[in-house]
A and B are shown apart, each in its own frame.
Chain A
Amino acid sequence: MTLTIATSVDQAIALLASGARPIAGGTDLVVGARQGKAPLPDQLVAIDRIAELAELTSTDSETRIGAGVTHARLMTDGLIIERHTAIADAAALVGSPATRNVGTLGGNVMNGSPAMDTGAPLIVMGAEAELRSADGTRRVTMGDLWTGPGQISARDDELCTSLVIPAGGPGSGSAYVRLEYRRAMEIAVVGAAAAVTLSDGVLTSIRVALTAVAPVIIEIGDLDNLIGGAPDRALHGAVAAAARDQATPISDLRATDEYRRHTIGVMAARAVDAAARRAAGEQIPVPVNRSLGIGAAQ
């Protein structure tokens, strides 16, 4: 087995083409190998020292987050907190400080877990993953990228280089809320992200996505009939009902399917509420989970 420390994207994708697999923080790959889920690949290329992948840039219309940007940076970056608050909410809940220091957004996305925290925020913000290979560059939506638990549509010779996210306009707000039994080293029991836009107190857009209630992270469909309404309890109830209706949860050691189906409604409603309050200008600190008092009591 070999590990090569790449210093450029071109070097990394050449190694991927010859059969190497990428490693950034190793918080999924190495832990999984040590738990016996899958052996370490025979050839590894470390991508955590490629400067291009650590870039976080923005224009008026979009934000580009390098695949190597860590959760620790996402949860504290001023632009992400201002523009893409749900991503900061999610990044702040990942693992522990040690996990967040080396775990990356690109690693989260390409690992394809239906329980990943950053996934639902990326969906509701309309993010696309940029994939690069020797054949060129293409962009895929999150919905097209994730095909099953731990399964993605990207080819083995493609490297995720960045996530590209539309900026969102005035009056927009977002939030990610997670049901957790403890406040650290936790995996979502269920989770929900919402992104809304308000104009004069009326909803002009709404997207909601759900974590850990389906084989992949899913977006709730058919919410457009809610546009034009107020961000009130009726809205929360409608979103909760739609979330429960469209979730297809399983039972496992963290929760039963029945408990997940109930709580996903609660989390989706809370996410919409927090997103709307942020859209209206209220400052709710990251992660919103703490102000909602979710997780074990102190």
Chain B
Amino acid sequence: MNPSSPMSPSSPMSQQINLTVNGMTWPVAVETSRNLCSVLRTEIGLTGTKEGCDDCECGACMVLLDGQPINSCSYLAAQADGREITTVEGLADGDELHPLQRNILSAGGVQCGFCTPGMLMSAYALLDRNPEPSIEEIRIGLSGNLCRCTGYARILTAVHETAVELNGA
């Protein structure tokens, strides 16, 4: 590393970036190797996003980057500079839960809860892109999210019920 190179930041170990999270812009200094999940949780304090496998397999860390689900455990925070991030904390409207959150609770789609934030983000992005998904399309939309408690059936029900509710409104 050459600190005098024009591409180097002021500190050799960190870069100053701006992350727009749930509509609010956060200037943060991050080491280049830090993943987005870790920065969201420890620098910004949004601990709804979970670190599960840390290996891009389980989807507990799912957030939206410019509206698209990504695994934040394996995405460098520095690469998200200036982009729009949505976390599970961005779904509710004040004290009113998003219909997906309300329905996943009422359907019994939450047991230990560790997968729930990631599931919600994948489901939110799916319904945004495809407001009337078939059960198969819901399965594909959630295929990057592992749940070891529920057996998935009630989560699928919750997403399907939400689609019906939002379309009937």
**Interface residues of A, Cβ cutoff 8 Å to B:** 1-5, 15, 18, 20, 23, 26-27, 30-31, 33-35, 40, 42-44, 46, 48, 72, 95-99, 101-102, 183-185, 298
On whether A185 and B15 interact (CB within 8 A), knowing A97-B143, A97-B144, A98-B71, the answer reads: no
Question: What chain A residues lie within 8 Å of B139 (beta carbons)?
Answer: 298
8 contacts between A and B (CB under 8 A): A2-B8, A2-B15, A30-B35, A30-B75, A97-B69, A98-B144, A99-B71, A185-B57
Contact residues, B5-56 vs A (CB, 8 A) = 5, 7-9, 13, 15, 31-33, 35, 54-56
**Smallest CB–CB gap between A76 and chain B, Å?**
10
Residue in chain A with minimal CB distance to B9: A2
Query: In the bound complex, do residue A34 and residue B74 qualify as a contact, i.e. CB atoms below 8 Å apart?
Result: yes
> Are A40's CB and B33's CB within 8 A?
yes
Residues in chain A near residue B144, CB distance under 8 A? 95-99, 184-185
Least CB separation from A20: chain B residue: B7
Q: How far is the CA of A99 from the CA of B8 in the complex (A)?
A: 29
Cβ-neighbour of B1 out of A2, A31, A40, A46 (below 8 A): A2
Q: How far, in angstroms, from A40 to B55 measured CA to CA in the complex?
A: 15
Q: Does B117 sit within 8 A of A, measured CB to CB? A: no
Residues of B with Cβ closer than 8 Å to A? Answer: 1, 5, 7-9, 13, 15, 31-33, 35, 54-57, 59, 62, 65, 68-71, 73-76, 78-79, 81, 122, 125-126, 139-141, 143-145
Q: Which of B15, B68, B73 is the most central at the interface, judged by chain A CB atoms within 10 Å of its CB?
A: B68
CA gap between A4 and B15 in the complex, in Å: 10
Nearest-CB residue, chain B, relative to A5? B81
**Which of B35, B55, B70: most chain A CB closer than 10 A?**
B70
* Chain A residue at minimum C-beta to C-beta distance from B75: A26
- Known contacts: A2-B15, A34-B55. The answer to whether A43 contacts B76 by CB under 8 A is no
A31 touches B79 (CB 8 A): no
Check if A98 sits within 8 Å of B79, measured CB to CB: no
A165 to B145, CA, bound (A): 34
Within 8 Å CB of B15, what residues of A?
2-3
Chain B residues contacting A48 (CB-CB under 8 Å) are 79
User: In whole angstroms, what is the CA distance A185 to B58 when docked?
Assistant: 9
What is the bound-complex CA distance between A112 and B41, given in angstroms?
A: 34
Q: Could you tell me the distance in whole angstroms from the C-beta of B151 to the nearest C-beta in chain A?
A: 13
* Distance between Cα atoms of A72 and B57 in the complex (Å): 17
Q: How far is the CA of A193 from the CA of B4 in the complex (A)?
A: 49
- How far, in whole Å, are A72 and B1 apart by their CA atoms in the complex? 35
Residue from the set B9, B31, B54, B79 with the largest chain A CB neighbour count within 10 Å = B79
Q: What would 16 more interface pairs be, CB under 8 Å, given A2-B7, A2-B8, A4-B7?
A: A2-B15, A2-B32, A3-B15, A15-B7, A26-B79, A34-B35, A40-B32, A42-B1, A46-B79, A96-B145, A97-B126, A98-B69, A102-B65, A102-B68, A184-B144, A185-B143
Distance from A2 Cβ to chain B, minimum over Cβ atoms (Å):
6
Asked if B143 contacts A184 (CB within 8 A), the reply is yes
Given contacts A34-B55, A185-B144, contact A3 B68 (CB under 8 A): no
Partner of B70, one of A1, A43, A98: A98
Residues A101 and B143 in contact, CB atoms below 8 Å apart: no
Among A1, A4, A101, point to the contact of B69 (Cβ < 8 A): A101
Chain B residues near A1: list those with CB within 8 A. Answer: 1, 13, 31-33
Cβ–Cβ < 8 Å partners of B73 in chain A: 34
Query: Do A5 and B55 have beta carbons less than 8 Å apart?
Result: no
Which residue on chain B has the smallest CB distance to residue A45? Answer: B7
Kindly provide the distance from the CB of B49 to the nearest chain A CB, expressed in whole angstroms: 13
A-side contacts of B65, CB under 8 Å: 101-102
A176 to B141, CA, bound (A): 22
CA distance A99 to B65 in the complex (A): 12
Which interface residue of A15, A95, A102 has the most chain B CB atoms within 10 A?
Answer: A102
Closest to B56 in A: A31
A97-B141 in contact given A2-B15, A5-B79, A43-B1 (Cβ < 8 Å): yes
User: Once the chains bind, are B78 and A3 in contact (CB under 8 Å)?
Assistant: yes
Chain A nearest Cβ from B30, distance in angstroms: 10
Q: Which residues of B contact A184 (CB under 8 A)?
A: 140, 143-144
Contact A23 B56 (CB under 8 A): no
The answer for the CA separation of A181 and B59 in the assembled complex, in Å, is 19
A99: chain B residues at CB < 8 Å are 56, 71, 144
Inter-chain CA distance A15–B2, complex, in Å, is 13
